[in-house]
């Protein structure tokens, strides 16, 4: 009996050691998430960190995501290719930083389309998921989001009607905005958000497109004193992943990741950022020294007229990308209405 007990004990110890080794291996899933805004930007503590913790919790601690902010691993326009090539496992991208490369998701860039970031992010993600495998086939698409509606901020006033842009150098938020400002007689000077401060302070641009609180986040509150007080546009963003890394995960871990790449998570990711951006407008008013130009109804009509051709341009680009553009546009509008995120 003693011998049998010893043998049984040895077998149990071997099985336990094997199980512990397996658990250790399973726990060793480390993913890098790279982005290009400051670590203090509301998107990191209010979105990315919450998302990463939820993934860790849902996986029983098997998956750990390390976040690298502020372009530590590469420049903002390179993040799609960085995820594609495995330089990072997860990249946060602004598709509009690479004009013409992602024409389908660019629908979300058209002004006066998306009224808010929360329902807008849920809607854009739900709509775009059906096209992501076609347009972003080099990566594993996770989710798409938008920021709270932004506007134009300048060093010289006023900014009230489209004619006020003529002759100015303007930093656009994305390719669609660049085409718009060029069509209005302005020159676009496109740089990532992190470079806005240097661009404006050196006088290389007179104006920038930005949501409200990002003026503070990127340190432009002392150089931009004139503001178009109008919810004008949003910017589309996406989280994309290295295919080989995700495919190499266990089925259980892939399920955890997939469960965190949903329209519900897109809304969660955008929500705290949206609140922070919206609060920036009142913060600016309270600070004083800023002039907010609120267009009349007729002047809003001038802005909408100035942007009217952008939908047709998008349809042409989307058609060339192999999409039924009219059906896609109608589908986007329907999805935005479903989540009360359309502009009335």
329 pLDDT higher than 70: yes
Average pLDDT over residues 61-78: 98
pLDDT band, residue 282 (cuts 50/70/90): very high
Poorest-pLDDT segment among 24-38, 132-146, 236-250, 297-311: 24-38
**Domain annotation for the chain: domains and CATH numbers:** 27-147+234-276 (3.40.190.170), 151-233+288-338 (3.40.190.170)
Report how far residue 240's alpha carbon sits from residue 322's, in angstroms, rounded to the nearest whole number: 22
The phi, psi pair for 269, rounded to 5°, reads -60, -40
For tokens 């077998």, the residue is 11
From the list 148, 149, 167, the residue with the least C-alpha distance to 207 is 167
- pLDDT per residue over 225-234, tens digit each? 999 999 999 9
Across 309-324, average pLDDT: 98
What is the residue-wise DSSP string for 152-186?
EEESSS--SSGGGGTT-EEE-SSHHHHHHHHHTT-
User: Is 70 exceeded by the pLDDT of residue 15?
Assistant: no
Query: What angle (nearest 5°) sits at the alpha carbon of residue 61, between those of residues 60 and 67?
Result: 140
Residue-level pLDDT at 208 = 98
Q: Using a pLDDT cut of 90, give the percent of the chain over it.
A: 92
Tokens of 90: 């997860």
Using alpha carbons only, give the angle 299, 302, 306 rounded to the nearest 5 degrees: 150
User: What pLDDT score was predicted for residue 28?
Assistant: 81
The pTM of this model reads 0.91
Q: What are phi and psi of 62, to 5 degrees?
A: -70, -30
List the structure tokens of 237. 């963003």
pLDDT at residue 103 greater than cutoff 90: yes
Q: Is 60 exceeded by the pLDDT of residue 267?
A: yes
35 and 93 Cβ atoms separated by less than 8 Å: no
Sign of the torsion angle spanned by Cα atoms 189, 191, 193, 195: negative
Rounded CA-CA distance 116/118 in Å is 6
Average pLDDT over residues 238-256: 98
**25 pLDDT higher than 80:** no
């Amino acid at each position: 009996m003693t011998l049998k007990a010893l043998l049984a004990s040895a077998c149990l110890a071997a099985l336990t050691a094997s199980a512990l080794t397996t658990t250790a291996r399973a726990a060793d899933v480390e993913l890098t998430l790279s982005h290009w805004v400051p670590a203090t930007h509301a998107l990191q503590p209010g979105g990315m960190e919450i998302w990463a913790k939820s993934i860790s919790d849902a996986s029983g601690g098997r998956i750990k995501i390390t976040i690298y902010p502020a372009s530590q691993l590469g420049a903002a326009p390179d993040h799609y290719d960085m995820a594609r090539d495995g330089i990072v496992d997860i990249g946060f991208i602004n598709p509009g930083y690479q004009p013409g490369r992602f024409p389908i998701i660019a629908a979300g860039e058209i002004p006066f389309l998306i009224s808010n970031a929360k329902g807008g992010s849920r809607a854009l993600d739900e709509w775009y998921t059906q096209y992501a495998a076609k347009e972003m086939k080099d990566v594993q698409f996770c989710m798409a989001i938008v920021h709270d509606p932004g506007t134009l901020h300048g060093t010289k006033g006023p900014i009230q009607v489209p004619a006020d842009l003529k002759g100015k150098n303007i930093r656009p938020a994305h390719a669609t905005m660049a085409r718009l400002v060029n069509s209005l007689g302005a020159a676009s000077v496109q740089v990532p958000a992190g470079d806005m401060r240097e661009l404006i302070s050196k006088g290389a641009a007179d104006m920038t497109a930005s949501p409200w609180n990002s003026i503070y986040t990127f340190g432009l509150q002392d150089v931009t004193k004139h503001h178009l007080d109008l919810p004008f546009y949003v910017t589309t963003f996406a989280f994309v992943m290295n295919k080989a890394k995700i495919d190499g995960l266990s089925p259980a871990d892939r399920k955890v990741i997939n469960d965190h790449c949903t329209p519900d998570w897109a809304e969660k990711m955008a929500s705290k950022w949206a609140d922070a951006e919206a609060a920036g407008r009142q913060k600016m008013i309270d600070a004083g020294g800023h002039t907010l130009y609120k267009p009349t109804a007729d002047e809003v009509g001038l802005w909408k007229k100035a942007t009217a051709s952008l939908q047709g341009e998008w349809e042409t680009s989307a058609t060339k990308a192999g999409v039924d553009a009219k059906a896609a546009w109608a589908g986007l509008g329907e999805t935005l209405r479903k989540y009360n995120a359309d502009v009335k």
